[in-house]
Amino acid sequence: MKTKKVTLVCTIKNTFVLKDVALLESLGYSVLLIHSPPYKDPFRFFFNRFREFFLGFFYVLQSQSTISWFNDYHSFLPLFWTKFFSKTSIVIVGGYDAVSSPSLAYGIFLKNNSRQKIARLNYSLCDQIWVVHKSLAQGCGQAKKDTKTQSGVSHFIPNLQTPIEEVPTAYDATFWKSNEVKQKNTVLTVANISDQRTFERKGIPLFISLAKALPSHQFTIAGIKSLDLNFDQLPENIHLLDTQTREQLKTLYSQNQFYFQGSEIEGLPNVLCEAMLCECVPIGKAVFGIPDAIGNTGLLFEAKTDLDVLIDFLKSEPEHLGSKARQRIKKTYPLERREKAFTSMLNRMDTHE
């Protein structure tokens, strides 16, 4: 029996991308991966487009369908070949590809340039759009109120004919579970921080303010890559870590009592959901997918929320909320939910062929 193939294109091999590769393979598909890192220098940028042109042609020709994680330059040529060969395709929207934030200089819809025009074209070329949270389709009112961030594919392209579905990322509760004793008065946040914009977008200034206000607590930032910060000015109770492996993250989640997600813009934060599965008590900003992840298992705050509210919560002893947080993620975002979505999509594509 001939193995069915799927072309998957991405810019970064994030954990959620690799999870989808593993999921598709578990469903019996061979995944042809086009990895196009987001290089900015002209030579490597155009070399990526060259690779996408030829790999897209040969991979799509063999494949039943094409899946693009995020919508950007890397999506266009594989989607073009998919349309050319009358195959079917999906674009998975994660955040950047559905927002415009002038205050953070962030989002594909921020500037009316060639990048935005290609993104709009990609949304019309594909057969389905999957958003990890409904706010990336409809828009997030709280983010607009807080930072004047406009969001939602439907907001930017109101006459778009491509159907949009909410298909959240999913989490393996058998792996993400606490394997350490919780240390009281510990607070963790995880983010791949490589520049000042990400530093701001992930809410790290507020995290540092909390650390300064609570010298009796230990705060950890994991994911520091390279950042032009004066670390000498950080309070002594902040511990900095670089990028962590899955096993290292599980240990960190398991050891820390609280998890902080102060993002200004976020689809459905993987690290928040993983931390909650490891029974961290969540504290998060009430934007995009964060409120749906946390629900009533922790503290949600807005831009206008007084810092004392967060401080008082961190001083409390909400021990019962950790197990409640785990049960919420386990029930709301199981692997079976995403597997069912992929199965349904691929079955429809079988019929289309």
pLDDT in tens, 218-228: 999 998 876 55
Q: Which residues of 159-184 are buried (b: 16+ CB within 10 A; e: fewer)?
A: eeebebebbbbbbebeebebeeebee
Which residue type sits at 129?
Answer: I
Query: What Cα–Cα distance (Å) separates residue 341 from each residue in 18, 165, 266, 313, 330?
Result: 17, 10, 22, 37, 17
Give the bridge partners for 321, in sequence order: none
To the nearest 10°, the Cα dihedral for 250, 167, 261, 144? 170
pLDDT score, position 346: 81
**pLDDT over threshold 80, residue 229:** no
SS (H, E, C) 164-211: EEECCCCECCCCCCCCCCCEEEEEEEEEEECCHHHHHHCCHHHHHHHH
pLDDT score, position 145: 93
pLDDT score, position 197: 83
pLDDT band at 350 (very low <50, low <70, confident <90, very high): low
- 33 Cα distance to chain centroid: 19
pLDDT band at 353 (very low <50, low <70, confident <90, very high): low
- 19 Cα distance to chain centroid: 13
**pLDDT over threshold 70, residue 158:** yes
The C-alpha atoms of residue 116 and residue 316 are separated, in whole angstroms, by 46
The C-alpha atoms of residue 301 and residue 210 are separated, in whole angstroms, by 14
State the average pLDDT for the chain.
92
pLDDT band at 232 (very low <50, low <70, confident <90, very high): low
pLDDT band at 347 (very low <50, low <70, confident <90, very high): confident
**pLDDT over threshold 70, residue 150:** yes
- Mind listing the pLDDT tens digit for each residue in 320-344? 899 999 999 999 999 999 999 998 8
**pLDDT over threshold 60, residue 271:** yes
Would you tell me which CATH number, out of the four given (3.40.50.2000, 2.40.160.20, 3.40.50.720, 3.30.70.100), belongs to the domain 4-170+334-352?
A: 3.40.50.2000
Mapped onto helix, strand or coil, the DSSP state of residue 163 is coil
- Mind listing the pLDDT tens digit for each residue in 64-76? 999 999 999 999 9
Mapped onto helix, strand or coil, the DSSP state of residue 1 is coil
Does the domain at 183-332 match CATH 3.40.50.2000? Answer given as: yes
pLDDT score, position 40: 86
The C-alpha atoms of residue 22 and residue 6 are separated, in whole angstroms, by 12
Q: Which of 16 and 351 is assigned the larger pLDDT?
A: 16
Question: The dihedral of CA 26, 330, 90, 55: what is its sign?
Answer: negative
Question: What would the two tokens of residue 163 be?
Answer: 């159907």
Most confident of 10-19, 149-158, 190-199: 149-158
Query: What Cα–Cα distance (Å) separates residue 343 from each residue in 17, 154, 221, 349?
Result: 17, 26, 37, 10
The C-alpha atoms of residue 248 and residue 269 are separated, in whole angstroms, by 18
**pLDDT over threshold 70, residue 349:** no
- Mind listing the pLDDT tens digit for each residue in 133-144? 999 999 999 999
The C-alpha atoms of residue 14 and residue 6 are separated, in whole angstroms, by 18
Q: Which of 144, 263, 131, 287 minimizes the C-alpha distance to 205?
A: 263
- Mind listing the pLDDT tens digit for each residue in 20-41? 999 999 999 999 999 999 888 9
The C-alpha atoms of residue 124 and residue 53 are separated, in whole angstroms, by 19
CB distance 301 to 285 below 8 Å: yes
Residues 6+ apart with CB under 8 A from 64: 4, 5, 6, 29, 87, 88, 346, 349, 350, 353
DSSP 8-state code for residue 21:
H
Portion of the chain with pLDDT greater than 90, in percent: 81
pLDDT score, position 228: 58
Residue extent(s) of CATH 3.40.50.2000 domains in the chain:
4-170+334-352, 183-332
Residue 322, burial from CB neighbour count under 10 angstroms (0-12, 13-18, 19+): buried
